[in-house]
Structure 1
Amino acid sequence: MTTPAEAIALVSAARVPGDLFGGPTPRRTYRRLARLLHPDLTPGAEAAGAFARLASLWAEHTGHTPTDDLAGTVVGTHHVGRLLHEGATALLYDCAPGALLKIPRGPADNDLMRREAQALRTIEREGDPTLLPYVPRLVDSLRHGSGDARRRANVISRVPDGFVSLAEIARRRPVLDPRDAAWIWRRLLVAIGAAHRAGVVHGAVFGHHVLVHPIDHGLVLVDWSQSVPLGSPLTVLVARHRDAYPPEVLTGAPATETLDIRLATRCVAALMGDRVPGAIGRFVRGSLVAPPRDAWRLLGELDELLDDLYGPRTYRPLNL
């Protein structure tokens, strides 16, 4: 069993958990199938259905429900509030005071939580303290459950009220004035630049992971579960954005600063649509075709361009 098609066929044929997990290494079987069918690696309705079926059979086998409701319980020493968001791989709960509990749907995704915790610890330890507000803070990382059903959970600082994702901005304002997109781009370069100095590549700089405050102009880059140390290959891709990754990343090449810079540029370019002045358009194209390996250098070049086009900076609230 080496392909998603084989995994889909195997899971679809299973009627009881023993059909899949009756061998001597059920956990290893589950992990292998989960990797082949994971929504971030294998897109498509057929694979998604098989992944959900796999999770259900594994839950039955272990006596555990991966999407159980933790609201009102205590995980570690943390009191868990209401469920805020259900993602493809993880659940987000309110976790007072001012934090979120992030827990995978099943143990197969424990490595995503481990990777996020490692990245946030590294950035806090190695990064510039003045730039830490651009990323969430890891409050705690712990285990929940027992045996084969044990899941790793992260408690992460919650972004203050008023922040919205770039995906939501694009939905509400399909085209932004380049001057509005410019401050988002500047802050996004600071966020990834701070991570790169700490030796971390985010690896998934997409609109739903970039949160900004339209009035205060704050920015936080969230979801570091796909991140890797600088110079390591990505191990997880966001399937619906597969076309955004450069070809070398898809073939296992080491992830460098240019990956985050290219993805960040795509985010901002998408916000501006067709309303891009010639000079900015050329700058965007250059940043996509041959992105530098230094976000700070690109930020300096962007500032020079903005000064030439618009003169001294003035505050512009982003009205949504």
Structure 2
Amino acid sequence: MSGFRAATTATMDRADPGAELTFEEAVARIIAARSFQDLTDVEIGAGRAYRKWAKLIHPDAVSAHRRATATDAFAKLSALYKQKDEWRTEPWGSGDIADLFTEGDRLIKIPRSPADNDLMETEAAALRRLWADGDPRFRPYAPRLIETFVHEDDQRRRRLVNVLERQRGMGSLAEIKGDLGVREAAWIWRRLLIALGWAHRAGVIHGAVLPEHVLIHPRRRGLVLVDWCYAGHRPAAIVKAREDHYPPEVRHDRTAGPATDIYMATVLMTRLMGSRMPVQLRRFAAGCTYDAPRMRPQDAWALLGELDDIIPPQYRN
């Protein structure tokens, strides 16, 4: 995987464990270690230490004649790390395909099945593109990708792990109980369209605008769109439990575009407002949820202007 290979060839920070070691010395240290504590210190932290050692001795990062030795050392490293309390505890949370663990300000996202490594790679690629090609002013609307690495368990199954910036103090729209009124819904809908417009201008389709993928901070009126594992014009998967949120082009043809995200955002907001949704907003929503994507709006930022023409002026913030 390209994301992992880029990580394994990174230069070691000389202040980190293993930074001044040769490959042979690193292997010897790992083989001799009785616990993972022998390979780290309290200042750097276990998670970062594991990633640094893994980059130094990973089988994919060495020449062919060293591969067997590297494979054994990597298996020992992974076994030592697995023994730590850090990832043996219950997950901090669970997503569609991954379990979530925390490490300070980091959110560690580990797929439950190695078969979903491609979705993790999709997320990493989407976030990298947003940071490279998207307008920097809108970066708070998506989590920052800190790094990507491969974790190997004691059965030598490899999982691609994404490490993201943790979103503290936020909850998902899936946690909202009861119907939202216009005042509450307006700022969420507006910020959701801003996030989608930013992504679309950078050439990224989210592909799964669902309640659990939209985090909000009600007091600060902040919004972050998470779980970019389904991004792209050809989604590799859908969230089966939310299949009725998807438009026909995804369910039938596995294609997606800006109009797909707009459809899903509209369905989401329509369901959140429920019976409290006023007539003018229902008409607005109907124009965003036609079966044919070509009949829907294609520009989220232009659609934001249309939404502002409908909602009361005092709600446009």
User: Is the TM-score greater than 0.5?
Assistant: yes
Matches for 1:68-217 after TM superposition, within 5 Å: 74=47, 75-77=50-52, 80=86, 83-96=91-104, 98-145=105-152, 148-161=156-169, 163-169=170-176, 171=177, 174-217=178-221
Matched with 2:305 is: 300
Q: Deviations over 1:156-213 (max 9, x none)?
A: 001122x1111101x2xx1111121011000000111111111111111000110111
- Aligned match of 2:14: none
Q: Distance in 1 between matches of 2:252 and 2:152?
A: 36
**In the alignment, residue 295 of structure 1 is paired with which amino acid?**
A
Percentage of pairs with the same residue: 45
Pick from 306, 310, 313: which aligns with 1:311? 313
| 1:249 corresponding residue in structure 2 | 250
Q: CA deviation at 1:149?
A: 0.7
Partner SS, residue 227 of structure 2: coil
What corresponds to 1:41 in structure 2?
A: none
Maintained 8 Å contact 1:102/1:153? yes
Choose the corresponding residue for 2:227, options 201, 223, 242.
Answer: 223
Structure 1 unaligned segments of length 5 or more: list them.
1-71, 316-320
What residue is the counterpart of 2:264 in the other structure? 263
Tell me the CA shift for residue 233 of structure 1: 1.7
CA displacement at 1:244 relative to structure 2: 2.1
Contact 2:96 2:239 in 1 (8 A): no
Residue 103 of structure 1 deviates from its aligned partner by 0.9
Match of 2:283 in 1: 282
In our comparison, the structure showing a higher alpha carbon Rg is 2
Are 1:107 and 1:148, in contact at CA under 8 Å, matched by a contact in 2?
Answer: no
SS at match of 1:273: helix
Shift, 1:251, TM fit: 2.7
Q: TM-score, normalised by structure 2?
A: 0.69
Match of residue 296 from structure 2: 291
SS in 2 for 1:274: helix
Pair 314,86 (structure 1): closer, same or farther in 2 beyond 3 Å: closer
**Partners of 1:208 and 1:243 in 2: CA distance:** 15
Number of equivalences: 233
Shift of 1:143: 0.9
Report how far residue 88 of structure 1 moved.
4.7
Offset of residue 225 of structure 1: 0.8
CA drift at 1:87: 3.6
Aligned-residue CA RMSD in angstroms? 2.1
User: In the alignment, is the contact (CA less than 8 A) between 2:107 and 2:163 conserved in 1?
Assistant: yes
Specify the alignment match of 2:237 in structure 1. Answer: 236
Secondary structure at 2:167 match in 1: coil
What TM-score comes out, normalization by structure 1 length?
0.68
Change (3 A) 1:205 1:296: same
CA distance in 2, matches of 1:312, 1:86: 37
Q: Which runs of 5+ in 2 are unaligned?
A: 1-44, 54-80
Amino acid aligned to 2:218 = P
